[in-house]
Structure 1
Amino acid sequence: MTAPTTRLQVFNLPDLGEGLTDAEIVRWLVGVGDTVAVDQPVAEVETAKAVVEVPTPYAGRVATLHAGNGQVVEVGTPLITVEPLTDPAAETYREEERAGSGNVLIGYGTPEGPTRGRRRRPRIPAAQAPTPTAPPSPAQATAPKPAASGSAAGRTTVHRVVSPLVRRLARDSGLQLADITPTGPDGLITRGDVLRAAAAAVDTPTTLSAPATPAAPSAGTGERRTPLNGFRKAVAASLSRSRREVPEATVWVDVDATALWELRESQRTPTDPGPGLLAYLARFVVAGLRRYPVLNARLDTERDEIVEYDHIHLGLAVQGQRGLVVPAVLNAHTLTTDELDVAIRDVTGRAREGRSTAEELAAGTFTLNNYGGFGVDGSAAIINHPQVAILGFGRMIDRPWVVDGEIVPRKITQMSFVFDHRICDGGTAAGFMRTVADAIETPSSLLRRI
């Protein structure tokens, strides 16, 4: 009898929502010859909104990767081709995976329970690595690795990995599968293999090479050209539109933040650092927007209407790995100062790593910009369209200040406010600025009212 022909399964790049039509491959999480399970992330892709993981709806062995790192793939075109598994043990695991698989959601995959979330990538200390109960035999330890696959420029040793949990553990530990010695049946990488390799990596110093850059010098011109990625193109389009359409005005004021500084220091304990300064500033901004809701709005130019929001999604300008992004703390008006502190650290931390969600990047209704973190005093910022205003703070430093007729050192910061002159006049802008500035100079007066 003739053996049945293996049916290859082609997974096309799915619709990523938000009207997006393409995505750039940031990096592949699998290689040709790897074994994948249903809902296992196979690639990180970058859109104009965020970097997300794309899970595969098919289980099997990776046959083809249809694009390389840095290449743009159109929605609906092939992303990866998977060959169904024939190995009985792997087929059994595939059935278990299928039993738990639901709808494939970009960046999430199959739910694992209400506490599931994105994990950071810690190194696993050697002390935490379990002692293997069945160490590899000398024959296993010295056995040659399987033949390499791929091009000569990027040759990768193929090892069998059935469990996506093992693959994720390796990825979170910063390990390449080709560098892990398998001890499972037929060269299968097990969880213990990953833990041992992670412990060895902690004990062995490594030299990190500089990441490759897409910029390439043009021969004989002295130029270097770097293509705009999805993030940068989106930022450029938004800022250009803001400059074209918005008649913006800027006002600024120097603020004595000594009382706020002292309040923050008074909340510190040996076991609890308390809220950071940015959390207090966010609290004061929310209070100002509640008093002047026209600044928490957008302008509907087609209907000539100012659209005010009931909610405050506070955008935070963050310099991430892929450029400037403005993720938002959702429903900031419902959070206490302590809760704002936790949310701000979470949102900005993930943004710096390129892990903001599409919702966070698109939801902002007002932007707070802490450019003082870059060591500058002032900035005439560009409004983040379609918002109508942006508030910025410079560095907080000791300066001579007149208090009760005497010159004394105080903690001074410059606050600048850029607003769309179509939706309000200078009086409203000044009122909002003074609300925030007065709260900074006398925080106890505002905190008693909120």
Structure 2
Amino acid sequence: MSEFLMPSLGADMEAGTLVEWLVKPGTPVKRGDIIAVVETQKGAIEIEVFQEGILDRLLVDTGATVPVGTPLALIRAVGGIGAIPMPTEAPRRERPPIEPTRQMEKLPAVRPIAAVAPVRQAPGRVIASPVARRFASVYGIDLSGITGSGPAGAILLADVELAQKSVAGAPAQPPGLSSLVQMRNAIAAAMARSKREIPHYYLSHTTDAGAVHDWVSLLNTSRAPEQRLLVGALFVKATALAVDRFPEFNGFFTDQAFIRSDHVHVGVAIAIRGGGLVAPAIHDANTLSLDSLMAGMRDLVGRVRAGRFRSSEIADPTITMSSLGERGVETVFGVIYPPQVAIVGFGKVVERPWIRDGNVVPRPVVTMTLAADHRVSDGHRGALFLAEIDRLLQQPESL
């Protein structure tokens, strides 16, 4: 029998609120299955399980706010070597549901959902973001009667809010629903901690992006729109390959020591509709083809904007990449998200006078930046790291 714990979804997370169980006791589960929805200061997150077996018992009721590491459920192993099936008729010592502790009362940004029953769907369940389900449960709104505006027709918070406004005399704001405020508070707390504890240093480097621009344009001419590459995918891949050579930018600083990661999970900063920001990971980005990486980025953006990102994507980025080029920003200097030790930024590709083969010619250029932790690396290594990204971008066909 193993315990399914409240996961840690970042260094700034102390507790989470269980919003919804997606499976019932007695259901077989396997690694990667999404079995619960937990709300944190970052928003509502789908929680995956990383063991295989039968969901035996639920230990925490929906609406309870509990610390990271609290057992949420018991999973019974079945089959395989060493598995000991538990007879269903054997008497068990019941473990009472875990209630919010006094310690959690000190965390006002994360509140239990008082007197709110979770919205549960039949096997043919409606696709809706967790926060949309929570809003609907507060007002007793039937999701099956709402047309979703999200990817694949997913129902978003805005769709439920629109339906709620059609109810005469309904209050404008649901009680206890302050997800955006909680997310901004979490971002502020993490960034304040970062600037307070991490000795940042900053570097910038402007490079000729003509090779990338021309190669992507030529490749996309024979592709359908949904199969085309974006330049951002090449930025992610070049960053992921560069940290293979400069591993001091890929990992975590914890307990006064740097722990290098054996994997390159690039967190991609994505703006959430209505406000807020998350940076879920593209796992093993250094090993993915550009097409696979692009597909992963599209999937992430679609799910994040529908409010359906997963615990594994939030918990384990080893380095973050931020790009505001599509917003017209030419240079972005990021703040490191602890316990990571580096963040790379890319600005807008713009046309500038450039010296090429001894002549001044117009060329597309891009400015990339690095914010890094001086406890782990220095400006010399940071400069070499940016130069390596530059070198890789000059040979896009090798990415």
* TM-score range for the pair, normalised by the shorter chain length: 0.5 to 0.7
Count residues with an aligned counterpart: 295
Q: In 1, Cα distance between the equivalents of 2:358 and 2:345? A: 29
Residue 328 of structure 1: how far off its partner (Å): 0.5
Paired residues of 2:46 and 2:310 also in contact (CA < 8 A): no
Tell me if the contact between 1:317 and 1:369 (Cα under 8 Å) persists in the aligned partners: yes
Q: Which residue among 286, 294, 319 is the counterpart of 1:341?
A: 294
**How many angstroms does 1:271 deviate by?**
3.4
- Structure 2 vs 1, CA of residues 421 and 163 (structure 1 numbering), >3 Å: closer, same or farther? closer
| Whole-Å separation in 2 of the counterparts to 1:210 and 1:396 | 42
Partner in structure 2 of residue 363 of structure 1: 316
Per the alignment, do residues 427 and 215 of structure 1 end up closer, same or farther by CA in structure 2, a change over 3 Å counting?
farther
Residue of 345, 364, 371 corresponding to 1:392: 345
Structure-1 residue corresponding to 2:44 = 51
SS at match of 2:307: coil
Are residues 1:310 and 2:300 paired?
no
Aligned to 2:17: 23
Describe the superposition over 1:241-269 as per-residue Cα deviations: whole angstroms up to 9, x where unpaired. Answer: 11111111111111110110111111111
Q: Residues 53 and 282 (structure 1 numbering): CA distance in 2 closer, same or farther, change over 3 Å?
A: closer
Query: How many percent of aligned residue pairs carry the same amino acid?
Result: 29
Kept after mapping to 2: 8 A contact 1:399/1:412: yes
Q: What is the alpha-carbon distance in structure 2 between the residues aligned to residue 51 and residue 285 of structure 1?
A: 29
Q: CA deviation at 1:335?
A: 1.2
**C-alpha displacement at 1:427, in angstroms?**
1.1
1:440, CA displacement in angstroms?
A: 2.0
> Which residue in 2 is equivalent to 1:250?
202
* Residue 432 of structure 1, CA deviation: 0.5
Identify the residue that residue 105 of structure 2 maps to in structure 1.
Answer: none
- Residue type of the alignment partner of 1:288: A
Residues of 1 paired with 2:200 and 2:127: CA distance? Answer: 50
Question: RMSD of aligned C-alpha atoms?
Answer: 4.3
SS in 2 for 1:165: coil
| Residue among 251, 271, 275 paired with 1:297 | 251
Unmatched segments (≥5 aa) in structure 1: 1-13, 30-35, 58-65, 77-160, 181-206, 217-225
Alignment equivalent of 1:165, drawn from 123, 127, 140: 123
Task: Say if 1:17 and 1:443 are closer, same or farther in 2 by CA, change over 3 A.
Answer: closer
What are the within-5 Å matches in structure 2 for residues 174-323 of structure 1?
177=142, 208=162, 214=173, 229-268=181-220, 269-271=222-224, 273-302=227-256, 305-321=257-273, 323=276
8 A contact 2:268–2:320 mirrored in 1? yes
Q: CA deviation at 1:299?
A: 2.3
Amino acid at match of 1:421: H
Q: Work out the CA distance in 2 between the residues paired with 1:411 and 1:270.
A: 23
Asked if the contact 1:37/1:162 (under 8 Å) is kept, the reply is no
Residue 228 of structure 1 and its aligned partner are, at CA, apart by: 6.3
Deviations 1:17-51 (A, max 9, x none): 337534286xx99xxxxxx9889999965223551
Change (3 A) 1:177 1:376: same
Give the structure-2-normalised TM-score.
0.62
Quick one: which amino acid aligns to residue 164 of structure 1?
A
- Which has the bigger relative contact order, CA under 8 A and spacing at least 6? 2
Partner SS state of residue 164, structure 1: coil
- State the SS of the aligned residue for 1:385: coil
> Is there any run of 5+ residues in structure 2 with no aligned partner, and where?
28-33, 48-54, 56-60, 68-118, 146-160, 166-170
Q: Are the equivalent residues in 2 in contact too, given 1:50–1:356 (CA < 8 A)?
A: no
Deviations 1:94-126 (A, max 9, x none): xxxxxxxxxxxxxxxxxxxxxxxxxxxxxxxxx
* Partner SS for 1:419: strand
Deviates more, 1:422-431 or 1:37-46: 37-46
The offset of 1:233, in angstroms, is: 3.2
Partner of 2:31: none
- CA drift at 1:353: 2.2
Structure showing greater radius of gyration is 1
